[in-house]
Structure 1
Amino acid sequence: MSSYEGLLAAVVAKQGGRPSTDPATGEIVGHAPEHTPEDLDRAVRSARAAQPGWAALGHRERARLLEAAADAVDASAEALAELITLEQGKPLSGPGSRFEAGAVSGWLRATAAIPLGTEPIEASGATIDYQPVGLVGAIGPWNWPAMIATWQFAPALRMGNAVVMKPSEHTPLSVLAVAELVNRVLPEGVFTVLSGGRELGAALTGNPAFGKLMFTGSTRTGKAIVAASAGHLPRLTLELGGNDPGIVLPDVDPEAIAEDLFWGAFLNTGQTCACLKRLYVHEDVYEAVVGALANVADKASMGPGIEEHNTLGPLTTREQFRIVDRLVEQAKASGARVVTGAEPDRDAPGNFYPATLIADIDPEQPLVLEEQFGPALPIVRYTDLDEAIGMANALDTGLGASVWSADPGRAREIATRIQAGTVWVNQHGTVDPMIPFGGVKGSGYGLEFGVEGLKAVAVPRVING
């Protein structure tokens, strides 16, 4: 028996259910339970009953239980990684499914360790502390299903809330598996995962029992959640779509930055909200940067993630394959230069789209202006830095961005002019459980991670006098 099979057996529907398929082969991995709004109502009642006792445990005991939950995840880490690979597609190795399974336990431990107590308000006798919201509802994405689920439920639980979560209908088994593992140590009712489609998601966001909603996904769906929840005014954290720009200055060593540039764009086959999705390169180093990137791309091995030697896997859904294919074909038709890739086998099984670099592209092409969320990077030539910054800021997205330079001080100065929640210097897309993360403009609002992330899933209380 493969290591994942026992874990899978614990979470699949006992009969019927929604099929979850392997994006590398199209074969069914398992059937997820098809939960209903009635199941949601039962989960809410259970959460309401469990939450006061969970809150009463206090920070120290809740942190201890989150540590124990991390131990449970670590004990089944390989099984969880294999299941993520089979359902989502990312490779086991490198920054893939083993990394994601490790991030689940890592984020649980980091969240448990963050100190947060009563804080004095400077120059006054007042203090501020943070109380549980009560019930937190969360909806997760399909690109990093287990890791991002943990970003949502771990801080919410740490702050004394009960959590009801709906994963993406494309990757429910991975999140159900995380719940199976952590619920081996958590009290009954404080964390529930329900799998289902849009009807279930709409029921969750419209349910007035939730004092806080968390969502990671598209800007369009985020706007729908704002509208659906407006009647009962829950607090919201929305981490929405990004079209992250990178600006390369003329002083760089192209060979030195190529590896980090490539993985900043192609991590998880480009299916990451904070991936580098459009690259602006100064004309003095343009051809050298393009060539260095092509050398890295040509060495990357794409194939089924379950095969250890592969570093790039398939796109998770056929719909995403079609989006990337459409945008690249439009760029080719416009006269843009294909450096590498752009020739998928559309009839082959699996959603494999080759790592693609598109140079000499008009900055008004859809591949630049729309979030491709896949392995196709447009590389735009610029001559004037102010123009490059203007292009970087022109879109209604602002999740991440990056500046690449041999002079980090100069890069930081430029970073202050870019409209994004995070601007990285000589790196892109790296996250840390202690460093706050969130977007601006159409990329959403609210912060996750660190002390600010804990405060975001709590209610501030000021005592004055």
Structure 2
Amino acid sequence: SAWNYPWYVGANVFLPALLTGNAVLYKPSEFATLTGLAIAELLHETGIPADVFQVLVGGGRVGAMLLDEPVDAVCFTGSHATGVKVAAAMAPRLVRAQLELGGKDPAYVCDDVDVDQVAAAVADGAFYNTGQSCCAVERVYVHERVWPRFVEAFVATVRGYVVGDPFDERTYIGPLARREAALAHQEAQVADAVARGARVLTGGRRVERPGFFFAPTVLVDVDHTMAVMREETFGPLIGLARAGSDDEAVALMNDTPYGLTAAVYTADRARAERVLARVNTGTAYWNCCDRVSPRLPWTGRGASGLGVTLSRDGIAAFVRPKAWHLRGAP
């Protein structure tokens, strides 16, 4: 399971698995080991037998060993690169693999919005949880008619975010969970973008304080030659680009191997539906982003994965149909 929402993401998988009669061998991320052990303790206290829900702790090597076990299905939440390895390991045995992988989730801001309100909402979608969400907004396209006002309002919002201790209620931007590796990744994306012509409007560097903090960063003059607009960022860094029309926005939103979520902000629901119907993602948002519902399926397309969690489909994923043809004695 993932480290960024270890309770929620894990429960989306192991709860329906248990409810449909399966035994679960649960490997939490090595960055959330204690949470995984706490989950097991609480489930056992409710009466679930210890041999029905077991926790296996460790890093990537332990996860690779798990794939060699005689299991009926493997459910993985994490990066696209690791997901491909999981799928390849299971393929020779035709073991079902459910893969909830990454995203490069776009948001498109139309020209009929309340600019200040939408700028604040989109910024929250990009920087919530310090950007460490698979469905966080990772690239923003803004209709050229509202571009100057949106950029100004967006940057003002981001500059107001407080970086600090997560236990301080004033804090909005906390540390990066993957520590030095995550910091280096943010720096590399900023450096690549700037080398290709992007401008940093705020942030763009580490925060000089103990811990693994990166300043909330906004880039403009970005394009799809830059890693920040093509590859997962998973941190407090966002690129803003202008779009001349809805058609251009759709083309830009679809210019990615990922297909997890997409958002459109507009006063016109019909316009949002027309745009979102043409975007190749598993989840579509109108005037919202970065959210899930237990009543709706959560699924990705392309490099964002295989299979489904949540909704009735997410429960049915853990049962296997069996057809019975029965005839009594004549």
TM-score normalized by the length of structure 1: 0.67
Matched letter for residue 374 of structure 1:
G
Alpha-carbon contact 1:254-1:288 (below 8 Å) kept: yes
| Distance (whole Å) between structure 2 residues aligned to residue 388 and residue 414 of structure 1 | 9
Q: Which residue of 2 aligns with 1:291?
A: 152
Aligned residue runs from structure 1 range 141-156, under 5 A: 141-156=2-17
Q: State whether structure 2 residue 292 is matched by structure 1 residue 431.
A: yes
Task: Provide the secondary structure at the position in 2 that maps to 1:462.
Answer: coil
Q: Are the counterparts in 2 of residues 435 and 449 from structure 1 also a CA contact under 8 Å?
A: yes
**Aligned residue among 96, 104, 125 for 1:235:** 96
Q: How far did 1:249 drift?
A: 1.2
The match for 2:229 among 365, 368, 375 is 368
Give 1:58-457 correspondences, 5 Å limit.
140-185=1-46, 186-208=48-70, 210-317=71-178, 318-345=180-207, 348-457=209-318
User: What SS does structure 2 have at the residue aligned with 1:183?
Assistant: helix
Shift of 1:258: 2.0
CA deviation profile, 1:315-356 (whole Å, cap 9, x unmatched): 1122011101110122223332222211323x6421100111
Preserved CA contact (<8 Å) 2:128 2:172: no
Secondary structure class of the residue paired with 2:75: strand
Instruction: Describe the SS at the equivalent of 2:102.
Output: coil
Partners in 2 of 1:459 and 1:433 — Cα distance? 21
Tell me, in whole angstroms, the C-alpha distance in 1 between the residues paired with 2:243 and 2:186: 24
State the Cα distance separating 1:253 from its structure 2 match: 1.4
For residues 45-100 of structure 1, give each alpha carbon's deviation from its aligned partner in whole angstroms, at most 9, with x where no partner exists: xxxxxxxxxxxxxxxxxxxxxxxxxxxxxxxxxxxxxxxxxxxxxxxxxxxxxxxx
The 3-state SS of whatever aligns with 1:461 is coil
Which residue of 2 is the match for residue 117 of structure 1? none
Higher mean alpha-carbon deviation, 277-286 vs 382-391, is at: 382-391
| Kept in 1: contact 2:86–2:97 (CA 8 A) | no
Q: Distance between the aligned counterparts of 1:268 and 1:461, measured in 2? A: 43
Q: Deviations over 1:148-187 (max 9, x none)?
A: 1111111101111110011111221112112212211122
Is 2:112–2:267's contact at 8 Å kept on the other side of the alignment? Answer: yes
2: CA distance between counterparts of 1:262 and 1:313? Answer: 15
Deviation at 1:274, TM superposition (A): 0.8
What is the DSSP-based 3-state SS (H/G/I as helix, E as strand, rest coil) of the residue aligned with 1:460? Answer: coil
Kindly, what percent of the aligned residue pairs are identical? Answer: 38
Q: Which stretches in structure 1 are left out of the alignment for 5+ residues? A: 1-139
Paired residue total: 324
State whether residues 130 and 173 of structure 2, in contact with CA within 8 Å, keep that contact through their aligned partners in structure 1. yes
User: Which aligned runs of 4 or more in structure 1 are off by greater than 6 angstroms?
Assistant: none
Q: Which amino acid aligns with 1:333?
A: A
For residues 351-394 of structure 1, give each alpha carbon's deviation from its aligned partner in whole angstroms, at most 9, with x where no partner exists: 10011111122332111111111110100112132222112111
Distance 2:145 2:227 in 1: 25
Looking at structure 1, the residues matched to 169 and 204 of structure 2 have their Cα atoms a distance apart, in angstroms, of 24
> Which runs of 5 or more structure 2 residues have no equivalent in the other structure?
none
1:464, CA displacement in angstroms?
A: 5.3
